[in-house]
Structure 1
Amino acid sequence: MTTNMFAVSPACHPRHAFALASRVAGGNDCTRKSGLGKGSHARFGTRRAASGHTPLQFQVGDSSLSSRRKASHRPGARMHHPHDQRRFLRGSGQHFPHSDQESLGLFSGDGKRRVVKPERIIIVRHGESLGNRDESTYVHVPDWKIPLTKKGFGEGQKAGEKIKEYIGDKPLFIYTSPYLRTKQTLAGMVEAFDTNYIVGVREEPRLTEQQFGNFQNLATIVNSKAERARFGRFYYRFPQGESGLDVYNRATSFIATMFRDFANESIARDDLNVIIVTHGLTLRLLVMRWFQYSIADFEETLNPENGSFVVMERKEKEDTDSRFFKDVSAERRDLRHW
């Protein structure tokens, strides 16, 4: 049984999703739902801390991220497939019956299902693409079909290794933009993980890059970016494309869906780690929306580097503030290199 809230269909079990990571997504059902394609990477910077959020801490991750633990990983490990999808797939390949869910904190005292905040949310920017290297690529290749460079795929592998060092062997759920370069980035990343711990993968169209128009003229690209700088990057709308505000609204909708997913018994667990593989501007607007930064704050930011990632960690003790997450990434001045 599949639902709109993360249930992983038998056809798209992580075992199959992992197999798809070595090739470009085709037209079958599993490919469309898993969203994996050929290889890729990611890297990033940050911004200002907003006042009062509650349970996640916001950190900047990059290639210099230190290892918290050495966690073993078994390449090529087989996935165990639960017969009852309503039961949660454990990292070990086991699953728990419904009777165990109350002890896991999936229900509040009155029996109502509650949001189970993940241990971490990690947002990754894709690795270097051909478009990053040469903007003329956009003239003859649709944006969503632009692949990674060899360097970009290596960046994806490195991001996966650093994230694996950081989180160890924990249940993992992954969202990815359906663009080729993000799916290739994810394919490179998952090489670092024991696939027993991948609960599921979802291709999420709301995580796509800002739409800059269809096939683009190089002179138009240059002129539009100059005009955007004068007009304001948040409100400027590209011809036949989107404004930053449009992407912000997509991010808002995605975050709402993600919180519904956190109440879904198919994945809900206190030690869950979530990875979101997306694009530079979309990453910035996700963080802006999450921590309720102002438009003026956004205007000061720049795209993170390819292959960078942001780590948001759950706070173990909630504040009186009603919001779920808190940005504790040092001072605003340390976050301007976004």
Structure 2
Amino acid sequence: MQRLGPARLVLVRHGESIGNLADRAARGAGAARLELDARDADVPLSDTGVNQARALGRHLADLPETAVPTAVASSPYRRSADTARTAMETAGLRLPVHHDERLRERELGVFDGLTGTGIRAEYPAEAARREHVGKFYYRPPGGESWCDVALRVRSFLRDVGARAATDRLWIFTHQAVITCFRYVLDGMDEEAVLALDAKVPMPNGSTTTYHRGPGGVPALVDYASAAAVRAEGAEPTHEREHAGRGPVP
């Protein structure tokens, strides 16, 4: 009999990163490019991000035994991997963290490191094409569309469905990836997922939780909740645009 996915799935956005701070500073100054030397995969957590990861660990330590994760997966990108590692160490959990490249951040291609101002200045034709194609289907040169990320999510979920040990699965990943999990698990269309992205900010360290409902259908419990971080004394942070190397184009 085929399994129908985890009984409990928790998606965690990484803690605040140095990239988030650089993005916020660049947008505030109206700059074209982020002041950030590291490649996207190597961007570390900020001090606030480390505190958020530790808060998640304290939350994990307080969970009842029936809610403690049985498996942990993470994007291999440093800000997510370090959030997972710090949370597990703080909680005193000895579970291995499995890094899966399908959980990595959406790749922005030639737009990497640019703000919206920089994209419009350096790639006006692409900015116009993105306006015509739409945010969901547009793929920047050398990068990925949201659909590409959704395909990664579908592939990951197919593999998870075959593993009994992942019944309570925690995933540490990125904003766009978590939004695509919602798109896939909730059967959203383009209009619905873009409305969600526009209206609901996703704090660093926030959790999005699903339980397996009747008939094996995933049921959303909460989305982009900062309650765990806040309850454990850390400051939630978020921004309206993509947190990383620039705005989601």
TM-score, length-scaled by structure 2: 0.71
Which residue number in structure 2 is paired with residue 154 of structure 1? 51
Residue of structure 1 aligned with 2:138, choices 215, 223, 236: 236
Q: Deviations over 1:274-300 (max 9, x none)?
A: 100000010000111011111111111
AA partner of residue 11 (structure 2): I
Which residue number in structure 1 is paired with residue 161 of structure 2? 259
Which residue number in structure 1 is paired with residue 244 of structure 2? none
Distance in 1 separating the partners of 2:188 and 2:206: 20
TM-fit CA distance, 1:327? 3.3
Distance in 1 separating the partners of 2:69 and 2:219: 22
Distance in 1 separating the partners of 2:221 and 2:162: 25
In structure 1, stretches of 5+ residues that fail to align are: 1-112, 331-336
Identity of aligned pairs, percent? 25
CA 1:122–1:243: 2 relative to 1, 3 Å: same
- Structure that is richer in helix per residue: 2
Q: How many residues align?
A: 206
Distance in 2 separating the partners of 1:130 and 1:221: 21
Which residue number in structure 2 is paired with residue 122 of structure 1? 10
CA 1:161–1:232: 2 relative to 1, 3 Å: farther
Distance in 1 separating the partners of 2:103 and 2:78: 13
For 1:122-141, list aligned pairs within 5 A: 122-135=10-23, 136-137=33-34, 140-141=37-38
Which residue number in structure 1 is paired with residue 99 of structure 2? 203
Which residue number in structure 1 is paired with residue 217 of structure 2? 324
Q: Deviations over 1:172-206 (max 9, x none)?
A: 2001000000011112211343435x2x4311100
Secondary structure of the equivalent of 2:218?
coil
Secondary structure of the equivalent of 1:134?
helix
AA partner of residue 136 (structure 2): F
CA 1:161–1:247: 2 relative to 1, 3 Å: same
In structure 2, stretches of 5+ residues that fail to align are: 24-32, 224-239, 242-249
AA partner of residue 260 (structure 1): A
8 Å contact from structure 2 (residues 106, 149) kept in 1: yes
Which residue number in structure 2 is paired with residue 309 of structure 1? 207
Which residue number in structure 1 is paired with residue 30 of structure 2? none
CA 1:226–1:191: 2 relative to 1, 3 Å: farther
Larger radius of gyration: 1
Secondary structure of the equivalent of 2:56?
helix
Secondary structure of the equivalent of 1:287?
helix
Q: Deviations over 1:11-50 (max 9, x none)?
A: xxxxxxxxxxxxxxxxxxxxxxxxxxxxxxxxxxxxxxxx
Which residue number in structure 1 is paired with residue 29 of structure 2? none
Distance in 2 separating the partners of 1:168 and 1:137: 43
AA partner of residue 148 (structure 2): D
TM-score, length-scaled by structure 1: 0.54
Q: Does 1:177 align with 2:69?
A: no
Distance in 1 separating the partners of 2:65 and 2:127: 44
- Structure 1 ranges of 4+ moved more than 3 A: 116-119, 136-139, 166-171, 214-231, 327-330
Which residue number in structure 2 is paired with residue 249 of structure 1? 151
Distance in 2 separating the partners of 1:123 and 1:164: 17
Secondary structure of the equivalent of 1:159?
helix
Secondary structure of the equivalent of 1:293?
coil
CA 1:232–1:124: 2 relative to 1, 3 Å: same
Residue of structure 1 aligned with 2:39, choices 127, 135, 142: 142
Q: Does 1:284 align with 2:179?
A: yes
Secondary structure of the equivalent of 1:301?
helix
TM-fit CA distance, 1:117? 4.8
8 Å contact from structure 1 (residues 139, 217) kept in 2: no
8 Å contact from structure 2 (residues 211, 220) kept in 1: no
